[in-house]
Amino acid sequence: EVLLVESGGGLVQTGGSLRLSCSTSGFVFGTYAIGWFRQAPGKEREKVSCIYHNDGTTYYTDSVKGRFTVSRDNAKNMEYLQMTGLLPEDTGVYHCAAVLPGQCSAWNPKKFVGMQYWGQGTMVTVSS
């Protein structure tokens, strides 16, 4: 059974920090890029970041560059998203996803394109 389980969400004030974790099992973690996407209430899914499995190359959507840092531990089948300088517009459910190899720049969570598995998400709420 494939599982991706996110944790670490919560309620923080503007400017605060959170560290999200994604625990995975049931698939070969080391062969997939791992991405994060989010969905705010009433809005479409939005790609947040992605990290390749081999060389650790990372991608970020423009709105989180310089504030969020993605990392992975292939030995533990874990991925992390360190979020700092949080803003109210960062509020949403954050999901991790197994992204097909080579698709970090092209995957599209709006249409579930380029991703094979994803978790149920963890809620992040940033108060103003």
Q: Tens digit of pLDDT for each residue in 109-119? A: 999 999 999 99
Q: Tens digit of pLDDT for each residue in 5-51? A: 999 999 999 999 999 999 999 998 889 999 999 999 999 999 999 99
Q: How far apart are CA 83 and CA 17, in angstroms?
A: 5
Angle at 94 between CA 16 and CA 52, to 5 degrees: 100
Neighbours of 29 (CB within 10 A): 20
Q: Tens digit of pLDDT for each residue in 49-101? A: 999 988 889 999 999 999 999 999 989 999 999 999 999 999 999 999 999 99
- The DSSP secondary structure of 2-25, one letter per residue, reads -EEEEE--EEEETT--EEEEEEEE
At residue 53, the pLDDT reads 87
